[in-house]
Each structure stands twice: as C-alpha cells, then as structure tokens.
Structure 1
Amino acid sequence: MTTTAETAPSPRALARQRRRASVARFWRQYRGERAGLYGLTVLALCALLALFAPLFVGSDVSSVTDAPGRPMQSPSAGFPLGTDQFGRDLLGLVIWGSRVSLLVGLLAAVLSVAIGTLIGVTAGHFKGWYATVMMRITDWFLVMPTLVLAIALATVMSRSLTTTVVAIGVTTWPTTARLVRAQTLAVETRPYIERAQALGGGHWHVMSRHVLPNVMPLVLAQTTLIISSAILAEATLAFLGLGDPTVVSWGGLLQDAREAGAVSAGDWWYLVPPGLAIAVVALAFTLCGRAVEAVLNPRLGVSR
C-alpha cells in the first residue's frame, strides 16, 4: 500500500507545475489583448523573414558587383520595390536588413535591461551610500540626452555591430534601474523577506530567490518596450553613418538613400520601404510591451 509521502509530488515537480500554470494563465490573459496579438503576429512574421532570409533572397543580395538591375530603377514586376544606386534589389535588401536591425535591437535591449536590473536590485537592497551613489549616476544618465551619448560612444569606438550594441545598451538603462529599484524597495517590505533574513539568508539568497523573481515581470515588460527604442536608435546611428558599413540594415539603407540623393530626386521607393519597416517593427514591439505590461500589472487591468 502506497503512502502519502510516496505519492506526493516532489518540490521540483510542484515548482514546474506552478510555472506551467503561470505561463498558461499569462497566455490566456495575453490573448485578451487584441493589440498585443497583432503586434506579436507582425513580430513573428518579421522573425521568420529574418531567420530564413538566405532562402528567400540569397546571401549575395548585398553584393555590389553582382547587382541584377539598373541603378535607381523604379518598382516593376522584376523588382517590386525597385533598385538602389548600385542596381541591387531593394526588396531583398530590406528582408536581409531585418536580420541586423532585429538582432542589434534585441541585444542592445538585453544589455540595457541587464545593467538596469543589476543596479536597480542592488541599490534597492543595500541602500545606504551605495544606493546614493548609484542613483546619482542614474540621475546623471537620465538628464543627459541618450542619443547624444550613444553618438559620442559610437564615434570614439570602432564602427561595428558590437559598438552599436554597446553604445545603445550603456545609455538606455537608467529608466529600468529606477523602475526596478522602486519595485525592489516594495518587495523588501514584505514579511517573508524578514523571515528569510532571520533564518540566515544572505544578501545573494534574498536578492536571487526572493527579490529577482518578483521584479522579473516588470523586467520582461520593460525589455519589450526598450527593444523598439533600440531599433530606432540603431537606425539613427546607421543613418548618421556611425553603423557598420559592411552590413545591411534598415538605417543603413536610409543613409545610402540620403547619399544617393533619393530625397531631392523623388525616388520614394528607396526611402519608404526601410522607413516603413522600422516604424512597423517598433510599433509591434510597443504593442507587445503594452500588452505584457497590462497582463502583469493588475492595476492596469482594473483601470481598463
């Protein structure tokens, strides 16, 4: 005869069950956000295009020597979005450029949120002189124009994708740090934090096991919102000529169009596709971020 102890699930199994139930509950609530579903659908399509771009357009789409068309050719059956000043297919360039723009935006957002979360959690936990110093540094970054700092970093460093990611990531973290610190201070007032400390839990235990899991929903929502800003920042740096000239990105296409005189010549097909792609993807990430924020923040759900 089996005992209750033998049939009871293990703590790890219970934790997995709770995580699965939490994910299922999140998805049910997220599906109720129609705008978030629209944004998620657009992002899924863009991710598929970026992932399978070599199959759709080929890896030689950015080659100048093997350009298939005439320079600055208007849209036609052979070239739905026309060609650039080198005769390259703009539709293929826009699809290929999504790989760089999405990758840089995602990596820069992850770096920014990681820095902000680290500073926010530690400043909220340790308090005292450490929190004062960290928050003054955060305030300095907040009052400084983010784009100006990113341009300054991109100027003094070598022109590469790593430089772009670092320039965006290290200048956009202060907002996350402020939000995470406020949430950390709220979490550490709860009774179970005091019990954990009374039972001998050290600083790392409290921050990693109790504080961080409670601020992760805020971090997730903040990440989706920052990605759109990071994509716009990458496009701006590339448009200013501070991106990697050896890769194709949406901002780089806009910079090429400016250099080719597409604005004065009225070659709209050179400007509209990459600009529209940037706007659509940034809007999609913003819609997803707002939906995630509405699901994870009960106050927003009640107010609606």
Structure 2
Amino acid sequence: MRAFALRLMRSPEGMAGLILLILLAAMALCAPLVYPGDPMAIAGRPMLAPFSDPAFPLGTDRLGRNVVAGLMHGARASLLVGISAALMALIAGSIVGTVAGFAGGLVEDILMRIVDAFQVVPGFLLALAFVSVTGASLPVVVVAIALGAWTGPARLVRAEVLSIRERDFVAAARTMGMHPAEIAFREILPNALPPVLALASVIVASAVLIEAALSFLGLGDPNIVTWGSMIAEGRNLLRSAPYLSIAPGLGLVATVLGVYLFGEGVAEALARRRGRA
C-alpha cells in the first residue's frame, strides 16, 4: 500500500486529481458547518450580483437563495451519488463477472447474455426510464445509475478471472479441498480487482454527469439541492445572470476533471506495479 501511494505521488495527473478531489470533499464536508440549515431556504434579496455583498460571495438566485450554500451542499449530493453508484456497480459487476468467469459453461452464457441485454440500452436512457417509472429520490437515482454501469466491471472481471483461474495457486487451492465459492471470491477475485479499480474513476465521473442531467430535467430528488438543479434554475436567466449556471457548471467540470486525473494516476501506478512484477 505504501509503495502504491509513492507511485501515485510520482504521477502529476494523479496528484492534481487528488488535490481537486480533496478540495471538493472538504467543501462537501464543511457545508453543514459553514452554511447550516436548508440551502434551499430564502437567505437574502433576490438576484444579488456576485461580490456585491460579503454575506453572499457569489450572489443569490431569483428566489434569494445563497449560491455558495447551494454549491457546497450540491457537492455533497454529487459526490455521494457518484461514489455510491460506483460502489454498487463495482460490487454487482465483480460478483457477476467472477461467477461467469469461474463457473463457465451454461452459467457463463446466461450471465453474459444478461450483460449484453443491459449494454444494449445507453446508461443515461436506462437511468431516465427507471427514475421516470419509480419516482425521483436520491436512492433511486443511485440505483438507476448503477443499473447502467455494472456491465463494464462485469466484463472486465470475467476476462481477468478467465486468465487467473488456471494458475498454479488456484490448482493448489482445489487440491486442498477449498469450496469453489471460496476459491472464486477469496483467491481469484482479489487478484482480478486492480484493473477494475482503474475503471471506477470513469464510473464515478459518468455517475456525477448523469445525476446532473437527471436533475437538470427535473428528475432528481426535489428535496436536495444539486448542481444539475441549480443549472436548470439559472438557464432562463443566462443573459441577465449567467453566474447562476456557470458556478455549478464549473463545479461539475472540477469534479469530473479531478476524478479523471486521479483515475489516470491510479492506472499509471497499477501499470508500474505490474511492470515490476
């Protein structure tokens, strides 16, 4: 773990992404302390311009809500959705990929045809349909995004398991009488995970953008402020008050860029580890 951290620190992309993510995480964690209460509550005079009032550094929207408070609380929603959806997709995909790769035969055929069926529908359209049918809430949005993201990890884990299952340590585990499930999930899966962890950054970034798009369309959780809902709120005032959409848009750009750069650093560190091995 220490060697991996050192390799990551030698990557300029990884360090830049890590710094961005730390800043965003700090902003999200400090939101309830800096701006306690409901960020959707009216806080001042409507349509205050940025930097015109020290109490509202980025001004207020058309209802008098604090833009900075919305940004900080919106960071919590975006990071929570991105990380939760990625975890759910990685767990589901890892289980399906491990079972398919290790079992083989009919089980593999059935599971991979299910994967193919989910991959036919674009992730955003699948999330859009799921939220439209079940109703908008934060847990539903997380599940909807994960439904379209688990197929990538499943295929990658299956490919890794197929290359690992014939190795000597797996044959030794079979000789020792270990249960097949124990061999698959205790011996093979940990060795198949490193490439999948590099894919996690793509899933997180995609989840953040899909959540913003759903909120922009009015299909996000109405009780939670998100960057997508802030952009949608400001789209009718782009000429008179562009900051209402630009500020949350820059938050989205910073989040996706940070996740992407950090993922590049992780992939580079893993590649160096494999090269030395």
Q: TM-score range by the shorter chain?
A: over 0.9
Q: Bigger shift: 36-45 or 216-225?
A: 216-225
The equivalent position to 1:33 in structure 2, one of 4, 11, 16, is 11
1:122 maps to 2:93: no
Task: Output the amino acid matched with 1:24.
Answer: R
What is the deviation of 1:55?
1.5
Map 1:90-169 onto structure 2 (within 5 A).
90-169=67-146
Map 1:2-41 onto structure 2 (within 5 A).
23-41=1-19
Q: Which has the higher contact order (CA 8 A, sep 6+)?
A: 2
The equivalent position to 2:253 in structure 1, one of 269, 276, 279, is 279
Q: TM-score, normalised by structure 2?
A: 0.94
The equivalent position to 1:44 in structure 2, one of 5, 19, 22, is 22
Deviations 1:166-217 (A, max 9, x none): 1001111111111110011111121111121122111122112211110222
Question: Any unmatched runs of 5+ in structure 2?
Answer: none
Native 8 Å contact 2:52 2:59 kept in 1: no
1:73 maps to 2:51: no
The equivalent position to 2:34 in structure 1, one of 46, 49, 56, is 56
Identity of aligned residues (%): 38
Deviations 1:27-86 (A, max 9, x none): 11111111110110111111111111112122233213xx212x2222123132221111
Counterpart CA distance in 2 for 1:39 and 1:31 is 11
Counterpart CA distance in 1 for 2:180 and 2:40 is 52
Native 8 Å contact 2:232 2:245 kept in 1: no
1:227 maps to 2:201: no
Counterpart in the other structure of 2:271 = 297
Secondary structure of 1:52's counterpart equals helix
Task: Output the amino acid matched with 2:44.
Answer: P
1:171 maps to 2:152: no
Question: Any unmatched runs of 5+ in structure 1?
Answer: 1-22
Native 8 Å contact 2:39 2:69 kept in 1: yes
Counterpart CA distance in 1 for 2:38 and 2:131 is 28
Secondary structure of 2:118's counterpart equals helix
Q: TM-score, normalised by structure 1?
A: 0.86
Counterpart in the other structure of 1:262 = 237
RMSD: 1.6
Native 8 Å contact 1:294 1:301 kept in 2: no
Task: Output the amino acid matched with 2:185.
Answer: S
Counterpart CA distance in 2 for 1:224 and 1:208 is 23
Counterpart CA distance in 2 for 1:213 and 1:299 is 15
Counterpart CA distance in 2 for 1:31 and 1:53 is 28
Secondary structure of 1:297's counterpart equals helix
Task: Output the amino acid matched with 2:250.
Answer: L
Secondary structure of 1:256's counterpart equals helix
What is the deviation of 1:300?
8.4
1:85 maps to 2:62: yes
Q: Bigger shift: 239-248 or 141-150?
A: 141-150
Counterpart CA distance in 2 for 1:114 and 1:213 is 12
Task: Output the amino acid matched with 1:92.
Answer: A
Bigger Rg, which one = 1
Q: Bigger shift: 30-39 or 74-83?
A: 74-83
Deviations 1:220-250 (A, max 9, x none): 2222331111111110111111001111011
Counterpart CA distance in 1 for 2:91 and 2:197 is 11
Counterpart CA distance in 2 for 1:31 and 1:254 is 35
Counterpart CA distance in 1 for 2:209 and 2:51 is 29
Counterpart CA distance in 2 for 1:298 and 1:40 is 19
Native 8 Å contact 2:126 2:147 kept in 1: no
Counterpart CA distance in 2 for 1:268 and 1:296 is 42
Q: Bigger shift: 52-61 or 202-211?
A: 52-61
Secondary structure of 1:207's counterpart equals helix
